[in-house]
Every structure is written in structure tokens, then in C-alpha cells.
Amino acid sequence: MGLPTISLAELEQHNSSKSCYVTIGSKVYDVTSFLSDHPGGEDLIIEWGGKDITAILADEISHAHSEPAYEILDDYHIGFLPQGHIPAPVGGLMPPSPPGSPANMSLKEVECEEDLSVPTDIVADYKVHKFLDLNKPLFLQVWNGGFSKEFYLEQVHKPRHYKGGESAPLFGNFLEPLSKTPWWVVPILWLPCVAYGLYRANEGLSSPAVTASLWGCGLAIWTLLEYALHRCLFHVDEKMPDNRVFITLHFLLHGIHHYLPMDRLRLVMPPALFTILATPFWKLAHVIFWTNWYMGTAVYCGGITGYICYDLTHYFLHHKNLPSYYKELKKYHLQHHFADFQSGFGVTSKFWDKIFGTELIYAGSAAKKIN
């Protein structure tokens, strides 16, 4: 049985969060169920409700889309417009070529956040790539998979999206809840610790101004730590030994984020893992400032504040529609996920990427415009 013909009048009525249709050429798509999964917010799609989206899909300046963005529409195809009633796309652009054709494969710059949210066909993905079955706990699959480092790195940096935006099973047992952290846990748990630490530090320092200065010093130090940890620990990649211990550790630390980048509950750092990573820096701060415990504490609190800002920024880059500065930062971070995971290590800022020569250059970026 063929798909129905949908009139222009009916199409134009479906332009809200309750029911949202869009078209590409003569094809009509019901994207209502995708609205909540759109990383940039449902308003960006509703704005085009009842309209042809050919132009916005192909616009490389404002909203360039790569092949998966077209593939996602296949599941939402519900009908056709009547012949002779197909609205002309804005700008006279032709409808996009089918996925996999040269026209789409030539899109070198991946700038589309929807690409991160294309639901993965779990059965087909496992059948084709022989990597991980998203329906089964991932930890033991990585540990027992016998993957070579080369194969693992190739696969883990190809983003997947678990059905419905939920979290894929990681451990499949009592450890599962420990691997999931809502974003709001970070400020609720760690900001009171920072406040108490600053209170204690201020007791032993000469003035609040000195405490604030040391806190600011710690905040600045964090920006370098953010870059260094992301580049030298989370992306040790090519330098890590080729065995299952290091491959599994890589997956748990950061690989899972590149594999499932839109997992809302595995985007910020779990408190247990953060405690393990942060403890050596507590010791280091008080070794450096060994003559004054209070100075070391104030600097450390500044670093923890920087971490809180980093984790929240990282979450919002993936899941919120943001002001102009953060939209550019969001595009920059998505390039790290899609175009080049060995560059673009700064999340809250590009500063250290520029200093160390790892800045991502892509279509529309400020650096490319200057060059």
C-alpha cells in the first residue's frame, strides 16, 4: 500500500509541537517525535513546520548538514505532496541527493548537531561493524571483544545514538546507576564544597581580596588543566598500549562519550570518578603551597569552580540552544566529535588550542575567515 497524498492546506496546519510536518521536494515528513531529541531545541524545527526544508538543510553557512541528517528523515516519511503543488525551495536549491550519493558525500565539514541524534539501527549496526551491541551491557563487550586498538579507535569515534535518547546499558547490574549522572548533580554537590573550602581558606588569609585572587588563580589554572586532561588523558588514543585493559579504561573514561555523545546521563563526570581524578590535585596544590595550607585550598577551590563551569558548559553545548558565543563554541565542539577528534580539545574556550596549535579550522570558523 502506497503512502497518501497530503495537500498543501493540510501540510500548513502541522506547524506546532503537537504535530510538525516538513517537506523536501514532494516528500512529506512527520518529525513530531524528533522534536524533543533535537539538540538545538524544538523551536528550530517548529520554525520550519509546514514548510520545505531543502534550503536550511543545504545552507553551509548557517546550518550545514551531513549525510546522517538526511538519513534520519527516512523513518519519518509519511506521504507526498500532489503533483503541481510542490513549493519552490527558498534560494532555488534543488532537493538534496539521496544519502550516500556524491552530492552528500562531498560535505566535508560536519556542522550539524542533528547528526549526533540519528537513532542507530542497533541490529544493522552490529551486523555491519561487528563492534558493540547497544542492547547489551557495553563494558563486558569491550573487555571481552578482543578488538585491536586500531579497530576500536575507528569504531568508538563513529557516533551512535541510542533509541529514544535513553542511555545504553553499560554494566547491566548494580553498578549501572553509578555510571549515570544528571547535569544538576554537579553544581548541587560541588558548589557547597567550594563555598566551604573558600570559607576555611579565608580564615587563614589576610583578607577576602587575597582569597579571591588565589581563587581566580585556580580558575585560570583549570583552563590549562581542562585542555591537558582532554588531550593527554582522555585522548591518549594512539599512544595507549594495544591491550584490553587500556582499551576498556579508554572507553570508560571518554570513549563512551564519543561513541554515544548525546547520552544525557553520561555527559557530566560521575562524582565517584571525579573524586578519584581530583584527589591527586588536592595533594599537588598543598605540595606547591606547602608553607600555607589556606593558600593551597583557595587555589584548589578555584580549580574546582573551573571544573563545574566546564562540565555544565559541555552538557549545554550538547543539549541546549545557546547565545551566539556559545553557538560558535557548540559548532567547534561538534567538529571535535565529527571532523577531527585529535584537535579541538578546548571545551569552554579555544585559547589553549590556539597556543598549542590544535585549533580546529572549518568552514565558517573565525580562524578560516582570517586566513
Q: Is 360 in contact with 340 (CB distance < 8 Å)?
A: yes
DSSP 8-state secondary structure symbol assigned to residue 22 = E
Is 14 one of the annotated binding-site residues? no
Can you give the pLDDT at residue 119?
A: 66
Phi and psi at 316, nearest 5°, equal -70, -30
Question: pLDDT, tens digit, for every residue of 232-272?
Answer: 999 999 899 999 999 999 999 999 999 998 899 999 999 99
Can you give the pLDDT at residue 57?
A: 74
Average pLDDT value over all residues in the chain? 84
Strands 51-52 and 21-24: parallel
Can you give the pLDDT at residue 131?
A: 94
Question: pLDDT, tens digit, for every residue of 72-86?
Answer: 677 788 888 876 555
Q: Among residues of the chain, what percentage have pLDDT more than 70?
A: 81
Is 230 one of the annotated binding-site residues? yes
Can you give the pLDDT at residue 67?
A: 58
Is 254 one of the annotated binding-site residues? yes
Question: pLDDT, tens digit, for every residue of 217-233?
Answer: 999 999 999 999 999 99
Can you give the pLDDT at residue 301?
A: 98
Q: Over 50: is that where the pLDDT of 106 sits?
A: no
Confidence bin at 174 (pLDDT 50/70/90) = very high
Q: Over 50: is that where the pLDDT of 91 sits?
A: no
Q: What's the full length of the chain, in residues? A: 371
Q: Decide yes or no: CATH 3.10.120.10 for domain 8-117.
A: yes
Question: pLDDT, tens digit, for every residue of 51-75?
Answer: 888 877 766 555 555 555 666 677 7
Closest CA to 228 of 281, 184, 154, 269: 281
Strands 77-80 and 21-24: unpaired
CATH 3.10.120.10 range(s) for the chain read 8-117
Residue 306 and residue 324: Cα distance in Å, rounded?
21
Q: Over 90: is that where the pLDDT of 38 sits?
A: no
Is 250 one of the annotated binding-site residues? no
Can you give the pLDDT at residue 334?
A: 84
Is 286 one of the annotated binding-site residues? no
